[in-house]
A and B are shown apart, each in its own frame.
Chain A
Amino acid sequence: MVHNRLIKNYLVIGGIVILLMMVFGILMLLAQGGGLSLSPPTFYQFMTIHGTGMIGAAALAASAVMWYFLSQHVTLSKRIFKANLILFLIGLVLVIIGVFSFDYASAWTFLYPLPTLSAKAWGIIGALLYLFGMLIIGIGFLLLFIDTGRAIIRKKGSLAKGLGWDVIAGKKAEKDAPEPAIIAGTMVTIVNVTALIAGATVIMMNIIHTINPAFTFDPLLAKNLTYAFGHVFANSIIYMSVIVVYELLAKYTNRSWKANKVFLIAWSMSTIFTLMIYTHHMLMDSVMPKWMLIIGQVFSYANGLPVLIVTAYGTLMIVYKSGIKWDMSSGLAFLSMFGWTVGVVPAIIDATIVVNHVMHNTKWVPGHFHMYMGLGAVVMIFAFMYYLAKVDGGLKITKLDWIAFFSYIVTMAAVSVQFLVSGALSTPRRWATHTPEWMGPALFGGIAGVFLVIATTLFIVHFVRYVCNET
């Protein structure tokens, strides 16, 4: 591959940041579990860096997965791909300085007006470093997705055709449907350009408010924009990464996984629903128009359908009695689809308004997204790393990799389920301290997390060995 160098840089940086952020995750759980003493300011700084770093790094690595497969079908700009990486690193440095040198701790959702009104816990400089850092990272990604959109339109004529709407309409035969990489690329382009514009807008609103507090904004509008950005951007990670599952499992099973009409309709549904359902983050804002909140529930349910009926089902079908050769990459790819599917369950349950009424902002929420991210999205990225190391570097896997594989499943599941149990016990999320009744699951998760980090380290080491061999 021509642009391997850059892809590798994306993945090494993404992988190492994910690993480091896991350490902060463990420290938080141990602190909540009573096994470690962290001052609340330190806890909330860790929480801010963990959320920001995880979403940023996973999105970075996922965009490399997408870029790798998409560039086999359309002509993408290498310069923009490189610019995004550089902007990411600049932004990351600003964020780190803001959080650790200037005590900034608004959580990665920087909900207006918290960046400015911190009860004097952090100052203007910390807020500006963090917000500008986020803005720079966002601009990098925005450039990247404008470029993927441009390239897809060039090749296909329009984004609608990238989603295969001409095939759905029957104007074109199913066999001429776009490749899965193009379909996913189009979906992600549409949702992320929208999300990043919403995000950049609200970040700039926060920046202006920080510089000149007399300048105020509507907090409800800010909340809508923040969740429109955060929900969509975080969700796009799995839609970028899943391309590797399509490509890998088709190769490993020697069965074709091409887009047909049902597949196309599923991806169009995902595109529209992903944009619509951010309001499920606002179910506890009764001042919102009621119809928007009902949409939040109804379409959150509907958004489960493409995964449950098409993607997960397709995974099961293609693997069933296929004589597949299991190795780390095919194993991780299959695992990731399992993780995505189970993670959908607690998400849908919590999107039910009457349930959300007693579970919103409890640890149930991190419960569902650690499952979906940790057993799903991130695992897809690891699958891609093993795949590259194998096809490009010819690197053999060892027993140790397999031990890491199974430990990862058990420990990541433990970390996710402990959050869910806490949520069912009404433990609030984002609390630096827990009452004794709440401590058990957190402590258990913190200990499981230590082994999880060891397993992840082995994954990353394998990939770094490949990268070093090559050069």
Chain B
Amino acid sequence: MVQTVAWITSLVFMLLITFIFLCVAMKSTEKRDYEPIKKKWYKARTFYGVTLVVFMLIITIYTLRELPYDQPVYGKGEDPTIVDVEALQFGWELSQSEFKVGEAIEFHVTSQDVNHGFGLYDEEMNIIAQTQAMPEYTNVVYLTFTEPGTYEVLCLEYCGLAHHAMTYQITVTN
């Protein structure tokens, strides 16, 4: 799951940074000449800098291969189900709310009034996809459910005093 990967990755790097700052703090009261330290650690920095840039480049290329904005390639004769989603203070209107596992779906999301956020939650209440619901514009979410169950739409953009009450249920069957 993406959230778990993000959390673990963040945790690892945050702990690494904590460890490095602690080490330097422990070594701070010892007194040595600055020049040799500079010489040594500037050299190390070149290596560290290059490694970091290369690492980021690899992650960038890897994570940009498939973006949620891209329409999936549909098989021959496979027509996606288009669902019109309209948000309004404070509720959701979907042209359809029951789906089948494996059905290719496009949610065409817009809003009647202010900005809202169309956030799709699975049964364990993890976000699986989202997009902004904007007045005058239509954002698209491409999705194929892989598990049956009851899914929920939650509002993910602050839209006023009943923002937290904007929920809607979707049923997915086999």
A residues within 8 Å of B by Cβ?
40-41, 44, 105-107, 109, 111, 113-114, 117-119, 121, 218-220, 223, 255, 282, 284-287, 290, 293-294, 297-298, 301-302, 304-305, 308-309, 313, 316-324, 326, 334, 337-338, 341-342, 345-346, 349-350, 352-355, 357-362, 364, 420-421, 423-426, 428, 430-433, 435, 437
Contact = CB atoms under 8 A, between A and B. Distances in A.
B136 A285 contact: no
Contacts of A319: 24-25, 28
B58 to A, nearest CB: 11
B2 A355 contact: yes
Contacts of A218: 136
B82 to A, nearest CB: 15
**Helix, strand, loop or mixed for chain A's interface?**
helix
Given A121-B161, A322-B31, A342-B18, A361 B131 contact: no
Contact of A114 (B68, B115, B131, B139): B115
B159 interface: yes
A309 B21 contact: no
A320 B24 contact: yes
Nearest to B110: A287
Q: Nearest 6 pairs between A and B by C-beta? A: A323-B31, A424-B7, A321-B32, A119-B89, A431-B164, A361-B156
Given A342-B17, A424-B4, A324 B28 contact: yes
Nearest to A320: B24
A323 B29 contact: yes
Given A285-B132, A297-B64, A305 B53 contact: yes
Interface residues of B, number: 73
Given A219-B136, A342-B18, A360-B130, A428 B119 contact: yes
A362 to B, nearest CB: 7
User: Chain B: interface secondary structure?
Assistant: mixed
A357 B164 contact: no
Nearest to A45: B161
A345 B17 contact: yes
A320 B117 CA distance: 47
A353 B66 CA distance: 10
Interface stretch (B73-81, B97-105, B121-129): B121-129
A219 B131 contact: no
Given A354-B63, A430-B163, A362 B127 contact: yes
B68 A424 contact: no
Contacts of B32: 321-323
Given A223-B115, A316-B21, A360-B130, A420 B29 contact: no
Interface string B6-50: 110110011001101100110111111010011001000100110
B156 A345 contact: no
B154 interface: yes
Given A218-B136, A305-B52, A320-B37, A432 B128 contact: no
A119 B125 contact: no
A321 B119 contact: no
A280 B113 CA distance: 24
B130 A284 contact: yes
B67 A353 contact: yes
Contacts of A326: 28-29
Nearest to B159: A114
A117 B117 CA distance: 16
B78 to A, nearest CB: 21
A354 B66 contact: yes
A109 B38 CA distance: 44
A255 B34 contact: yes
A313 B48 contact: yes
A113 B139 contact: no
Given A114-B115, A297-B64, A360-B117, 16 more contacts: A111-B114, A119-B113, A119-B162, A285-B131, A285-B139, A305-B56, A320-B28, A321-B30, A323-B32, A352-B59, A355-B63, A359-B2, A361-B117, A423-B3, A426-B3, A431-B163
Contact of B34 (A223, A322, A342, A350): A322
B134 A353 contact: no
B30 A323 contact: yes
A321 B30 CA distance: 5
Given A285-B139, A358-B127, A40 B164 contact: yes
Nearest to B69: A286
A298 B3 CA distance: 20
A107 B127 CA distance: 23
Given A219-B115, A321-B32, A324-B29, A359 B127 contact: yes
B35 to A, nearest CB: 10
B123 to A, nearest CB: 12
A347 B121 CA distance: 23
6 contacts: A111-B158, A113-B135, A220-B134, A282-B132, A284-B139, A320-B28
Contacts of A121: 160-161
A360 B6 CA distance: 12
A304 B89 CA distance: 38
